[in-house]
Amino acid sequence: MKEKGLLIVLSGPSGVGKGTVRKAIFSGDTQFEYSISMTTRKPREGEVDGVDYFFKTREEFEALIAQDKLLEYAEYVGNYYGTPVDYVKETLEAGKDVFLEIEVQGAKQVRDKFPEGLFIFLAPPSLNELQSRIVTRGTETDELIQNRMKEARKEIELMSLYDYVVENDQVEAACDRIKAIVQAEHCRTTRVAPRYQKMLEVE
Amino acid sequence: MKEKGLLIVLSGPSGVGKGTVRKAIFSGDTQFEYSISMTTRKPREGEVDGVDYFFKTREEFEALIAQDKLLEYAEYVGNYYGTPVDYVKETLEAGKDVFLEIEVQGAKQVRDKFPEGLFIFLAPPSLNELQSRIVTRGTETDELIQNRMKEARKEIELMSLYDYVVENDQVEAACDRIKAIVQAEHCRTTRVAPRYQKMLEVE
């Protein structure tokens, strides 16, 4: 009998660098399967359908919602973003670890449906650091920044819903921690012992 | 406020290679403090007091037992072996991780006194070979197989008292897993969240 894979959910406050960390993890050798998100927003320059996102029309996306085909979804700035559930389930059944990089609202939905998942919160080294990162994007007003900070406070409070907190002080260090967490989780007695139990039962 | 260190307890069946794995971990750079055991057995050739063991007389050892100065102890082949509790407590308070490599009986005692410790069971690869042994059972007597299965059952029962199981298939691989487990444990939300809560209070 094949052991099921782990569902790894990386989330965290907006602007903390989830996408950068996720890309760094998948730039090298990795044992994870990346679950590509679905979105109704238009592809940006260089983005490829089926690589960066699955690009869908609003009608297609809403049909998938109606059919309960999304593990999680949310609407941001007028566009839907979500995770196709079939790919996740099939990949886990095949014994492979699936990696999701999603917003905190989505992570909450996944936690409800997959409480056995591995929930990792990517945290800013400090709130000030978070603010400066948002400021250096250069595209936002003071009011927007203040709102983001308020949001970040709320999101840091959300941290308690996660199993692990990884500080994103340096991308490489954050990647190492995430990989260590997954490796450790594969050694959890609750995961390993049943495998040995099964061997005895076969006899 | 300084965060307390982790108490890491490596144990497992006799003959599994605990000592070899522990030496490999401490042969390189390590962030752990090794808790040197105390014993009443005579030093072997090349063994140094305070490095390999703290060598004590039987009277000294029994005085320490009477004063409740041992985190765990046991008697093997007429000699006492034990872990001095003061060193462990002081090192943890100083924020450093303490590493113990002890027998399963000792690990049980530590679990009772330090349930918040990190308990790692080093498993023999032979457990994992169970399945192939069963497949090739034609080459072994039923009695031998039954004895091995019985032994395996005992080891698996023991396993359930630990947080993690690390298979000692290769020393280097086992060391990597142990280090990953400790790194992951430092990222546990229950350890990290209080630090962030402090940050929110400050700002």
Q: pLDDT tens for residues A166-196?
A: 999 999 999 999 999 999 999 999 998 888 7
Beta-carbon contacts of residue A107 (< 8 Å; ≥ 6 apart): A9, A11, A72, A119, A161, A162
A66 assigned to some structural domain: no
Could you tell me the CATH number of the domain that includes residue A190?
3.40.50.300
A116 assigned to some structural domain: yes
Predicted confidence (pLDDT) per residue in A40-92, tens digit: 999 999 999 998 899 999 999 999 999 999 999 999 889 999 999 999 999 99
Q: How far is A180 from chain B (nearest CA, A)?
A: 4
- Asked whether the beta carbons of A6 and A187 are under 8 A apart, the reply is no
pLDDT, position B202: 52
A60: which strand partners? none
pLDDT, position B77: 85
Nearest by CB to B134, from A164, A193, A202: name it. A202
B196 assigned to some structural domain: yes
pLDDT band at A98 (very low <50, low <70, confident <90, very high): very high
Side by side, the strands of the sheet bearing A79-84 are A54-55, A38-39, A79-84, A70-76
- Asked whether the beta carbons of A119 and A162 are under 8 A apart, the reply is yes
Which is more confident, A44 or A152?
A44
Q: Which domain holds residue A197?
A: 7-35+96-202
Residue of B nearest to A162 (CA): B189
pLDDT at residue A5 greater than cutoff 80: yes
Binary contact (A193, B153; C-beta < 8 A)? no
Nearest to B70 by CA among B102, B32, B93, B43: B102
Residues of B in contact with A188 (CB under 8 A): 163-165
A145 assigned to some structural domain: yes
Q: How far is B169 from chain A (nearest CA, A)?
A: 13
Q: How far is A189 from chain B (nearest CA, A)?
A: 5
pLDDT at residue A128 greater than cutoff 70: no
Q: How far is B173 from chain A (nearest CA, A)?
A: 11
> Is B19 annotated as ligand-binding?
yes
pLDDT at residue A153 greater than cutoff 60: yes
pLDDT, position B5: 94
Q: How far is A44 from chain B (nearest CA, A)?
A: 35
Share of chain A above pLDDT 70, in %: 88
pLDDT, position A125: 79
> Is B43 annotated as ligand-binding?
no
A23 assigned to some structural domain: yes
Nearest by CB to B193, from A159, A180, A203: name it. A159
B41 assigned to some structural domain: no
What is the average pLDDT score of chain A? Answer: 88
Q: How many domains does chain B have?
A: 1
Distance CA A108, CA A11 (A): 10
pLDDT band at A203 (very low <50, low <70, confident <90, very high): very low
Q: What is the pLDDT along chain B (203 residues), one digit of tens a residue?
A: 568 899 999 999 878 889 899 999 999 888 899 999 999 999 999 999 998 899 999 999 999 999 999 999 999 889 999 999 999 999 999 999 999 999 888 999 999 999 999 999 999 887 666 655 555 545 567 777 777 777 777 777 889 899 999 999 999 999 999 999 999 999 999 988 877 766 656 54
Residues of A in contact with B131 (CB under 8 A): 199, 202
Nearest by CB to A189, from B127, B164, B192: name it. B164
Residues of B in contact with A153 (CB under 8 A): 200
A195 assigned to some structural domain: yes
> Is B15 annotated as ligand-binding?
yes
pLDDT, position A197: 79
A82 assigned to some structural domain: no
- Asked whether the beta carbons of B122 and B16 are under 8 A apart, the reply is yes
ipTM of model: 0.84
Binary contact (A163, B193; C-beta < 8 A)? no
Region label for A34, one of left (φ > 0), alpha (ψ between -120 and 50) or beta (otherwise): beta
Which positions of A make up the binding site?
Answer: 12-19
Distance CA B166, CA B169 (A): 9
Binary contact (B192, A126; C-beta < 8 A)? no
For chain A, where are the alpha helices, taking DSSP H only? Answer: 18-27, 58-66, 85-93, 104-113, 127-135, 142-158, 171-186, 189-202
Residues of A in contact with B180 (CB under 8 A): 179-181, 183-184, 187
